[in-house]
Chain A
Amino acid sequence: MEAQLPPYSIKMMLPELFLFVWALVVITFDLLTRRKSGSAVGYLAMLGLVICGGILSITGYGRGFGMMFINDPVAVFFKVIFLGAAFMAIGSSFGITNRKIVNHRGEYFGLILLSTVGMMFLASSQELLSLYIGLELTTIPLFVLAGFFKDDRKSVESGIKYMIMGALSSALLLYGISFLYGLSGTTDIVQMKINLAVTQLANEGDIGVILILATVTILAGIGFKLALPPFHQWAPDVYEGSPTPIAAFLSVGSKAAGIVAFVKIMMLGLEAFYDPVMKPNDWGILVGVLAIAAMVWGNVAAVRQSNIKRMLAFSSIAQAGYIMIGMVAMNQYGLAAVGFYTFVYMFANMGAFAIVTVVEDQTGSCKISSYAGLSRTSPFLSAALAVFLLSLAGIPPLAGFFAKYYVFAAAIAMAGSSNGHTWLYWLVGVGLLTTVFALYYYANVIKTAYFAREASPYRLRPLRPALLVIAIGLLGVLIFGVVPETIVDFARDLPYYIAH
């Protein structure tokens, strides 16, 4: 009998391959122009992302490399988020590349693209090892990017801190994956799900302590990536030290990558071991506890921050907590809510960070107090910042409200559906209560910008690409606030695909 090689279907991987090549092109272009490429290299990188999006849209759904690589709506949905986040991060970087990293523009933009390639691989991988490789490809360029200001102690510190934490979390994840492999004898996620279920039946529902170990280590690994307390300590320092657009990219792109990894391993692979009733095997309540910790700690700590990047770091920890509610509500609404939340979060958070970048370029400071009176001198940017922050706080009719609504609705639907799930009400309760805290610190920035007695000494002049990013963010937040239908429809189908 002749072994049959699985069809490769390279076509499925075209967007990733293209972006990989394009990243090299970007770096080479900068070298060939003897580091004099100016903003052109940035525009080149943005162009690449747009083309990649175009290729993605014509690639279609399918599988490649056996079962390892899959292009289903879930993957495409998250790939759009990754491309969008990278596009917006690059767009808001021009001020920094013009002043601070004049000689390494090519690497800077190229590494962002490479990291995006990693995220896209991750979203498509249906197998634990390629998933792990995707995650590594995502984070390793980010280590470099976080420490990109070589002369800045804080930046270098954040780079090293991020690298150590990243390496530790990857090791934990890999450790957990090895347990799973040991239990199921396969790294294919779907096969693993079946094998684990069979093993569980054979052992009369008791797989034993190894599965608990696997669950806990994997959760810790992903918890680090998502900065869920108690694995969050690196986030504020890294966000504060790294270049602001990179902090934005970390908080959206890399977070979305962590979410995909979570969806793939937990919601798909370990689906059988989600159990609302406290049993040693289940991960549902464990994630619920992480979500509560994230919402409480993120929101409470954010209140006390005077540096806006640290504040946004804690707020993004809290946002990850809200997303986790959707994960715990493992029903038809849950994953849809997660998808929609992440999508909307991209617009609002990237937009907010873009404005923070503009302010930092102009004033050289990230203190919230340096926003005082900005509404008088830069009314448009202040209004945009207010819109982004209010969307993050979840005020209707902005898109962030619908995101929160869907997440809570998913949890309430699950809580009401059977008795074992009623503890989800606590999750919703904590979520709502902490939203009030969130509103307080977001409103605090708006207050500083709007209610100051004196006009600000600065008049913000954003570069054109930064303006483009802010405009995209505004459009996203406003349009998906009034007509969330389009994305909701798309997101609603996600659970179907993850289950099949």
Chain B
Amino acid sequence: MEHLILPLVIFFPSIGALLLLLVPERQADTIRGVSLIVSFVTMLLSFAVYYWFDPVASGMQFELNQLWIASVGINFHLGIDGISLLLIVLTTILTVLCILSSWRSVTKGVKGFHISMLVLATGMIGVFCALDLFLFYIFWEVMLIPMYFIIGIWGGPRKIYAAIKFVLFTMIGSLLMLVALIYIYFEFHSLTGEYSFDLLQIMSMQVPYQAQLWLFAAFALAFAIKVPLFPFHTWLPDAHVEAPTAGSVILAGVLLKMGTYGFIRICMPLFPEATIAYLPYICILSIIAIIYGALVSMVQKDIKSLVAFSSVSHMGFVMLGLFALNQNGVEGSVMQMINHGVSTGALFLLVGMIYERRHTRMIADFGGLAKVMPAFSVFFMIVTLSSIGLPLTNGFVGEFLILLGAFKANVVYGIVAASGVILAACYMLWMYQRVVFGKVTNAQNEKLSDLSPREKLILVPIVVLIFWIGIYPKPFFERIEPAVKDVLTKINGARLSSADDGQDAAQMFIDESKEISTVVIDEGVTADE
């Protein structure tokens, strides 16, 4: 049973999608119901995975390794560690919430929409489970088409432009990844005489340094487009703003995480030397993303594009934490991936809710919502604070660890990045103030209805998660820790060997981190918060 649970979680949504094909288009509520039940069961299955997951063990769990295309050495190899576990649970939860949130907002082509959502879920969960590079690539691409349709059919006014831009950007990245993948495959063959795409086997191989540089660049570009790292972020505002609410939530909540997940699952363990070589560039790009994303957010007039640009900034934090390459930074990053999924997902849901009522997202059109929609305002407040990273909310835990890691790695990075937290507080709170506080200036806002029970049902689990992670994150960190250690061991091995060669960059890096780690800086970071 245990080794069949992963394929079940992955393909259950697809089976549901096939089932939906049989329901006639007219019975919209049946379609919504079936899709909700399917996604709910998937969520329960993922909880079961969480329950059975052994937090102490290192390495992959629930492994399943089946021959798929034997003649070319492609296996159907699944398995998860703590990082993928949390992302899978996040994915299934957000899918349920998205389907709930589209109950009223998607009225045209209900069947197609729900089929796309369920197929998308299969692709996303599959990416997080795949341990065969080829399988990983397939799942990675499988998501592309449903998302294209979700943006293109159910999106906003500039949906077609946004959909095509999204697809082309992603495709350029993933094609590079495909080449790198095939190259590794033959490299592995020439070293071992075996054909295999198996991630765990390839991980044991020592890729030559020069090849690592190229391969890392190809993979990193694919992932950086997905994250999106500055300057590859230009598809993101278009796609996020034009997508329907459910699409934005999935995009921000899960699809962006696949980029960072790719870095930690493939780039770092496979190409440790290249990781160190590229480290400064990626860190600098992350910091630019943090500051740039925050500054651009500040001047947005549309709430949705504000949230979209804030994603660029937040994902910059995640990248910085990953490439701090120490236990604190990477753990914080993984946690922040979940946090960002929860809180930005929630922000998009909230924006969707007021958009359904007012059919506008302009900040200037609102004001004084606190009086008209008290429940909405409370939820909005909690989510805003979590997005800023207030202590006791989930955002704090992640950002704190990331900054801690960044300071350990390089003080300058830490200081500059920390200013991003302040900027986040500025743009989020300023936006909140203009939307919620003050007097009701626009007559149309006076008779807005407050949240319906369905909408509260969507938001309550999110608030629970926000506080749970914020107050008692231990169960999550327990599960992340062994996985992060595995990755870091690999990197540290490479760092030592390259230090032996007298490679200056790495050596300097170590010296710096040694110096800094002796200084107690925890309080300094807290003050910045």
Contact = CB atoms under 8 A, between A and B. Distances in A.
Main secondary structure of the interface of A (DSSP, over half): helix
Interface in A411-434: 412-413, 416, 428-429, 432-433
Interface in B134-163: 137-138, 141-142, 144-145, 148-149, 152-153, 159-160, 163
Contacts of A396: 137-138, 141-142
A408 interface: yes
Q: Which 8 A-B pairs have the closest CB atoms?
A: A432-B175, A396-B138, A396-B141, A451-B152, A412-B182, A409-B182, A413-B186, A485-B69
Contact of B71 (A397, A405, A447, A485): A485
Given A416-B187, A416-B190, A485-B70, A405 B178 contact: yes
Given A405-B178, A447-B164, A484 B183 contact: no
A395 B119 CA distance: 15
B186 A436 contact: no
A412 B186 contact: yes
Interface string B331-358: 0000000000000000000000000000
A409 B185 contact: yes
Contact of B176 (A432, A444, A485): A432
B265 to A, nearest CB: 19
Contacts of A492: 71
B273 to A, nearest CB: 20
B163 A447 contact: yes
A242 B68 CA distance: 42
Given A416-B190, A436-B171, 14 more contacts: A379-B25, A379-B112, A395-B141, A395-B145, A396-B138, A396-B142, A412-B179, A416-B186, A433-B175, A439-B167, A447-B152, A451-B159, A451-B160, A488-B72
Contacts of A433: 175
A489 B70 CA distance: 9
Interface in A431-480: 432-433, 435-436, 439-440, 443-444, 447, 450-451
A401 interface: yes
A390 interface: yes
Nearest to A432: B175
Interface string A378-422: 010000000000100001110001000100110011001000000
A444 B163 CA distance: 11
27 contacts: A375-B112, A379-B25, A390-B145, A395-B141, A396-B137, A396-B138, A401-B141, A409-B185, A409-B186, A412-B183, A429-B179, A432-B175, A432-B179, A433-B175, A435-B171, A435-B175, A436-B172, A439-B167, A440-B164, A447-B152, A447-B160, A447-B163, A451-B153, A483-B69, A485-B71, A488-B69, A488-B72
B415 interface: no
A433 B182 CA distance: 16
Nearest to A492: B71
Contacts of A450: 149, 152-153
B448 interface: no
Contact of B167 (A405, A443, A485, A489): A443
B509 to A, nearest CB: 32
A412 B68 CA distance: 22
Interface size class of A (residues with CB under 8 A): 20 to 34
Contacts of B178: 405, 408, 432
A409 B188 CA distance: 13
Interface string A37-81: 000000000000000000000000000000000000000000000
Contacts of B185: 409
Contact of A436 (B70, B138, B148, B175): B175
A500 B2 CA distance: 49
B182 A440 contact: no
B238 to A, nearest CB: 15
Contacts of A488: 69, 71-72
Nearest to B134: A405
Residue of B70, B182, B190 with most chain A CB atoms under a 10 A cut-off: B182
Contacts of B56: none
A155 to B, nearest CB: 34
Residue of B70, B137, B148, B172 with highest tally of chain A CB at under 10 A: B148
Contacts of B176: 432
Contacts of A489: 71
A409 B142 CA distance: 20
Contacts of A432: 175-176, 178-179
Chain B interface size, as a band, is 35 or more
Contacts of A484: 69
Interface of A: 375, 379, 390, 395-397, 401, 405, 408-409, 412-413, 416, 428-429, 432-433, 435-436, 439-440, 443-444, 447, 450-451, 483-485, 488-489, 492
Nearest to A484: B69
B506 to A, nearest CB: 28
Contacts of B23: none
B168 interface: yes
A379 B187 CA distance: 45
A451 B163 contact: yes
B356 to A, nearest CB: 20
Contact of B171 (A408, A409, A439, A447): A439
A416 B160 contact: no
A413 B185 CA distance: 9
B410 to A, nearest CB: 35
A68 to B, nearest CB: 33
A488 B71 CA distance: 8
A487 to B, nearest CB: 10
Q: Which of B152, B159, B179 has the most CB of A within 10 A?
A: B179
Nearest to A386: B145
B156 to A, nearest CB: 12
Contacts of B175: 432-433, 435-436
A395 B144 contact: yes
A397 B137 CA distance: 10
Contacts of A451: 152-153, 159-160, 163
Contact of B164 (A397, A443, A485): A443
Nearest to B172: A436
Contact of B182 (A395, A401, A408): A408
B148 A443 contact: yes
Nearest to B164: A443
Contacts of B68: 485
A65 to B, nearest CB: 34
Nearest to B140: A396
A451 B148 CA distance: 11
Nearest to B154: A451
Interface string B413-451: 000000000000000000000000000000000000000
Contacts of B144: 395
A230 to B, nearest CB: 27
Contacts of B190: 416
Nearest to A333: B72
B154 to A, nearest CB: 10
Contacts of A444: 164
Nearest to A408: B182
A440 B166 CA distance: 11
Contacts of B164: 440, 443-444, 447
A416 B183 contact: yes
Nearest to A414: B186
A451 to B, nearest CB: 5
Contacts of B149: 450
B152 A440 contact: no
Contacts of A379: 25, 112
Contacts of A413: 186
A222 B138 CA distance: 35
B149 to A, nearest CB: 7
Given A416-B187, A451-B153, A440 B179 contact: no
Given A396-B141, A447-B160, A488-B71, A405 B171 contact: no
A405 B164 CA distance: 23
Q: Which of B153, B175, B190 has the most CB of A within 10 A?
A: B175
